[in-house]
Amino acid sequence: MSSIGTGYDLSVTTFSPDGRVFQIEYAAKAVDNSGTVVGIKCKDGIVIGVEKLIASKMMLSGSNRRIHSVHRHAGMGVAGLAADGRQIVARAKSEAHNYESTYGEPIPIKELADRVASYVHLCTLYWWLRPFGSGVILGGYDRDGPQLYMVEPSGVSYRYFGAAIGKGRQAAKTEIEKLKLSELTCRQGVIEVAKIIYGVHDEAKDKTFELEMSWVCDESNRQHQKVPEALLEEAQAAAKAALEEMDAD
Amino acid sequence: MDRDATSDVNAPHSMGTTIIGVTYNGGVILGADSRTSTGLYVANRASDKITQLTDNVYICRSGSAADSQIVSDYVRYFLHQHTIQLGQPATVKVAANLVRLLAYNNKNSLQTGIIVGGWDKYEGGKIYGIPLGGTIVEQPFAIGGSGSSYLYGFFDQAWKDGMTREEAEQLVVKAVSLAIARDGASGGVVRTVTINSEGVTRNFYPGDTLPLWHDEVEAHGSLLDILNASNPEPMST
């Protein structure tokens, strides 16, 4: 539902006559145009995957990380403007640290998501601040089990079984809906996420991409970490094979 | 001479105190005596040293009455906000941590030893001892206050893991009454609070229901009992 907001889109503190804040919607477009980020909640944990579009062949592989650990038990995948995303991650780390210092326990994921969302929303309230041009998918494992949240530039935050943001989000969401998440382990989930990301990558429009994945599950001892090399390679191989199968049809 | 700290009724109130917290199979029991003293004067002989922080977390207070009350007021306030924010009851660990942050960061101004006890759905019944400097120690049982000096050996011998509720309650009442017998700054009645998955129960054991220990003399009622007796001669029993 794109429309031009001429006259009402110069400031984040201006509403349009039909009740929209265009600056926030424009911020969301920055997220929509970025590489896809996918997150799913399996029965024993969370898997996050990112389609890292490679801007230049000179970049070292493994650099420009898009998934960050916020605390031992939680991590977030970032889409949209990278620098904005870095700020959100920094804030999340700070909130998690402060919570633990005060309350003596790791921050519950719901609380972390609320705090990140409040912070992102804060930047949509003042004319002298611009909204964040990034959205995040937050996954973590606390004493209530694994949980997945998504925070958008508007400051909205919901809990999900599966979520996707960025270019290929529509296709990704369709694929996620086909999965029986409550029966998948994270090991299987990693393979599925890789397949989804390879599947939604548009060869024609975009250049090469690098797959970055992380998980937090029982197998990783409830710590947020990069998916182990061996499993990552297995996932990539399976994804490429699935693509060829599709092409062969 | 009459205005020194031992007999001035306006001197700072201190709870000499015996306080205890024990875990049992299913929850915790907190126990305390009821004497608040200002020097040698008993300012309150029926005080309640077991204070509520939330529906599922209580604390035993010892040391300076004012200091322990202020700390419990602050922590109750913080926990209330935390509960609203979280959308569910706070855990005992969080309550204990808030108490110890106050105790540690204000160690130069405060003089209070606290035992935090409660039940939550994640860890069950838990006891945390927070003595004078602001350390926090999670223990299967904790003792505190001036009367606790006389209970270390007793608990070494009498404590068992996995007691039933009745066993634990009897242990607590026995221990407090033993401390009351030897510690001049502890006395009055024994109060207990039991916290488990079903909720909270308060119990009260008046002085005359407590057992008499070695060399203790039976308590008498008031003078009215003597006057109403058939033989109204004082000192006849």
The percentage of chain B sitting over the pLDDT mark of 70, rounded to a whole number, equals: 86
Among A1-15, A161-175, B114-128, the minimum mean pLDDT is found in A1-15
pLDDT above 70: residue B116: yes
Contact between chains at B122 and A111 (C-beta distance less than 8 A): no
Query: Exposed/middle/buried for B3, CB within 10 Å: 0-12, 13-18, 19+?
Result: exposed
Angle, vertex CA B109, rays to CA B152 and CA B34, nearest 5:
45
Q: What is the ipTM of this complex?
A: 0.85
Per-residue exposure over A45-67, b if at least 16 CB sit within 10 Å of its own CB, e if not: bbbbbbbbbeeeeeeeeeeebbb
> Does the CB of B53 have a partner CB in chain A at under 8 Å?
no
Share of chain B above pLDDT 90, in %: 78
pLDDT confidence tier of residue B237, bands split at 50, 70 and 90: low
pLDDT confidence tier of residue B7, bands split at 50, 70 and 90: low
B72-103: pLDDT as tens digits: 999 999 999 999 999 999 999 999 999 999 99
pLDDT of residue A249: 58
Answer positive or negative: Cα dihedral of B123, B129, B134, B136: negative
Tell me whether B84 touches chain A (CB under 8 Å): no
Subunit contact A103:B96, Cβ cutoff 8 A:
no
- Mutate which of A103, A114, A118 to disrupt the B interface (most B C-beta within 10 Å)? A103
Contacts of B104 in chain A (CB under 8 A): none
Residue A246 has pLDDT above 90, yes or no: no
Query: Of B125, B184, B183, whose CA–CA distance to B154 is shortest?
Result: B183
pLDDT in tens, B13-34: 666 899 999 999 999 999 999 9
| pLDDT of residue B4 exceeding 60 | no
Element (H, E) at B94: helix B92-105
Map residue B132 onto helix, strand or coil: coil
Name the CA radius of gyration of chain B, rounded: 19
Please provide residue B138's backbone torsions phi and psi, each rounded to the nearest 5 degrees.
Answer: -85, 125
State the first-to-last Cα distance of chain A, in angstroms, to the nearest integer.
34
DSSP β-ladder status, B36-38 and B112-120: unpaired
Q: Give residue B45's pLDDT.
A: 92
Any chain A CB within 8 A of the CB of B74?
Answer: no
Give me the residue from A105, A111, A114 closest to B91, CB to CB.
Answer: A105
Query: Could you say which DSSP state residue A161 is in?
Result: S
Which pLDDT score is estimated for B218? 76
Question: Across chain B, what does the average pLDDT equal?
Answer: 91
Residue B91 forms contact with A (CB below 8 Å)? yes
pLDDT exceeds cutoff 80 at A64: yes
Closest CA to B140 of B171, B112, B107, B182: B171
* Interface contact B97-A111, CB threshold 8 A: no
Nearest by CB to A103, from B87, B94, B122: name it: B94
Q: Which of B85, B101, B122 sits opposite A111 (nearest CB)?
A: B85
B95 to chain A, any CB pair closer than 8 A? The answer is no
pLDDT (tens digit, 9 = 90+) per residue, B175-202? 999 999 999 999 999 999 999 999 999 9
Query: Using one digit for the tens of pLDDT, what is the confidence trace for B58-74?
Result: 999 999 999 999 999 99
According to the model, what pLDDT value does residue A61 have?
A: 86
By CA distance, what is A112's nearest residue in B? B86
Residue A5 scores a pLDDT above 80: no
Chain B residues close to A107, C-beta within 8 Å: none
Residue range A19-38: mean pLDDT, rounded? 94
Residue B38: what pLDDT? Answer: 86
For residue A243, which phi and psi values (nearest 5 degrees)?
A: -65, -45
Q: Which of A104, A111, A114 sits opposite B97 (nearest CB)?
A: A104
Per-residue confidence (pLDDT) for residue B1, from 0 to 100: 46
CB distance B196 to B176 below 8 Å: no
What pLDDT is recorded for position A203? Answer: 82
pLDDT score of A199 more than 80: yes
Provide the annotated active-site residues of A.
36
**Residue B212 predicted with pLDDT over 70:** yes
Pick from A102, A104, A108: which is nearest to B86 by CB? A108
A183 pLDDT exceeds 80? yes
Average pLDDT, chain A: 93
Residue A97 has pLDDT above 90, yes or no: yes
Q: pLDDT digit string (tens) for A119-130? A: 999 999 999 999
Tell if the CB–CB gap between B101 and A111 is shorter than 8 Å.
no
Closest Cα of chain B to A28: distance in Å?
28
Which regions of chain A does DSSP assign to beta strands (E)? 37-42, 45-53, 67-71, 74-80, 134-142, 145-151, 157-160, 162-165, 209-217, 225-226
Name which of B54, B78, B86 to mutate to probe chain A: the one with the most chain A Cβ atoms within 10 A of its Cβ: B86
What percentage of chain A has pLDDT greater than the value 70? 97
CA distance B98 to chain A (A): 6
Tell me whether residue B17 is one of the annotated catalytic residues.
yes
